[in-house]
Amino acid sequence: MIENKVIAITGASSGIGWATALHLAQRGASVVLGAQTEAGLTKLVEDIKSKGGRATHCVVDVRERTDLLRLVSRATDVYGRFDALFSNAGVMPIGPMADLDVEGWQQMVDVNVKGVLHGIAAALPVFQKQGFGQFINTASTAARKTVPDQVVYSATKAAVLAISDGLRQELAGRIRVSVISPGFTDTGFVEHVKSPELRKQMKEASGRFAMSPETVAKAVAYLVDQPDEVNIGEIILRSTAQA
């Protein structure tokens, strides 16, 4: 059941996070939205409320553990309960290893990996006290198959898989832990790429076979909608045109 659940989403101001917030709100969930962009969050909350949905927000930088604590507190303070955390915030400043973009590598580790860990640290005590809850973490098909120019990005997403499955095993029988692993999706991630040539290639690829964020949102909803005694460990989805 999705109706009346309280679900927090990071990276909610665009892409998969935005689409998932709209979709879950339409299905009757109360959504608590976190992202770095205040204007984007405000617009999304207004959009959801104009359609009869329930939403609130707070500015969140997932690199800061205190921001995730604030997001979880927002959920319990406003709605009195907390059912799921969708740790979706991510960055993708990909490029050849030989470019030695150490700053970009650090950014991917801090957001893609530490952001998930900070979410776990914030939500787990609440879930344990309640006796129920669900983590949904965004990985990627890149976690399963790396290619040139995406080595560090793939490594961070593989880490999300390992963290999530280990946590699932530790919490078996009490709290659900799931991973969503999308293939190429039409989000703003291409703009993270610093190389103009590589960015052009990614945009061309997006035009050929990228999925819509709404497709991924429906998969997230499927994870949430399972009976409490069912845990789907991972959903891998990609467009039929993606090899």
CA-based Rg of the chain, rounded to a whole angstrom?
Answer: 17
pLDDT at site 208: 75
- Helices H / strands E in the chain, number of each: 8, 7
Q: The sheet that has 234-237: what strands, in order across it?
A: 54-59, 30-35, 6-10, 84-87, 134-138, 176-182, 234-237
- Give the number of other Cβ atoms within 10 Å of residue 51's Cβ: 11
Dist CA 110 CA 143 (whole Å): 17
Please write the tens of the pLDDT for every residue from 3-14: 999 999 999 999
Q: Dihedral of CA 43/44/50/55: which sign?
A: negative
Residue ranges and CATH numbers for the domains of the chain are 6-236 (3.40.50.720)
pLDDT at site 195: 72
The residues that bridge with 223 in the sheet, in sequence order, are none
Q: Dihedral of CA 164/123/110/37: which sign?
A: positive
| Residues acting as catalytic residues | 153
Dist CA 62 CA 113 (whole Å): 10
pLDDT at site 77: 96
Please write the tens of the pLDDT for every residue from 94-137: 899 999 999 999 999 999 999 999 999 999 999 999 999 999 99
Dist CA 202 CA 176 (whole Å): 34
Decide which of 83 and 242 is more confident: 83
Please write the tens of the pLDDT for every residue from 144-183: 999 999 999 999 999 999 999 999 999 998 899 999 999 9
pLDDT at site 115: 98
Mutual angle of helices 15-26 and 213-224, in 10-degree steps: 50
Please write the tens of the pLDDT for every residue from 40-94: 999 999 999 999 999 999 999 999 999 999 999 999 999 999 999 999 999 999 8
Please write the tens of the pLDDT for every residue from 185-225: 887 766 677 777 777 777 776 667 788 999 999 999 999 99
Dist CA 82 CA 123 (whole Å): 9
Dist CA 190 CA 201 (whole Å): 9
